[in-house]
Amino acid sequence: MVKIHSIETLGALDGPGIRTVVFFSGCVMRCKYCHNPDTWQGGEERDEAELADWCVRYKTYYGNNGGVTLSGGEPLFQKEGAIKLLKELKSRRIHTALDTGGGVFCPEALELADLTIIDIKHPEPDAFSKLTGVPQKSLIQSLEYLREHNKKFWARLVCVPKLTDTPEVVRAVKRMAAGAEKIELLPYHTMGVPKWRKLGLEYPLEGVPPLSQERLEELKRILQK
């Protein structure tokens, strides 16, 4: 059984094509800019095979490159369940993507997923720990595994003003993500802040403005150089 926060159908942002996105409950990290803190606890128990059957209902929408993305929270926080669901989906010939923050090193899941989308929260170990609350080791191990085993992966960086929106950070992320099919730079936004308040939590990045479109474009140009 696996604890699920929610499921989004016909998603177009978390992986290629049209996808069902399964948001797992629980996370090992406590990222200061988390926009899904409501996934950290609770959730509804689901059987992996039943969940995979449910996802099959949308198979016609997936087309050639769509499928199912395991997201969260952190799907590998429940790694047994994530592995089981990946196997169930694979046996139904559904393309799988694993959207992970890199906080848990789980070679079996990295091996099973057709695509891994991995966040590089910060390239520098101390800053990474301050931002996420966990050491960077699992992320490094995961990136090494993906490279050594020629696994398909995308890397992501959330660009937070004055924290991760510098040319140095972008260049360092590019080096760390060597071998990635794609690197996505995402703009920091504050849409998740009301969720922190609703949970009675203090938002750690209070006052930090959303990243401007202009700055994002500059960083994308730096990434391409």
Q: List residues near ligand SF4 by CB under 6 A.
A: 27, 29-31, 34, 36, 39, 72-74, 101
DSSP output for 78-131: GHHHHHHHHHHHHHTT--EEEEE-S-S--HHHHHH-SEEEEE---SSHHHHHHH
At closest approach, how far in Å is the CB of 101 from ligand SF4? 3
Nearer to ligand SF4, 121 or 174 (CB): 121
Reduced to 3 DSSP states, what percent helix, strand and coil does the chain have, rounded to the nearest 5? 40, 20, 40
- Looking at the Cβ atoms of 94 and 183, the one nearer to ligand SF4 is 183
Residue 29 vs 68, nearer CB to ligand SF4: 29
**Which residue, 15 or 101, is less far from ligand SF4 as judged by CB?**
101
For the CB of residue 67, give the shortest distance to ligand SF4 in the complex, in Å. Answer: 21
Give min distance, CB of 56 to ligand SF4, in A. Answer: 26
Strand partners, 23: 6, 71
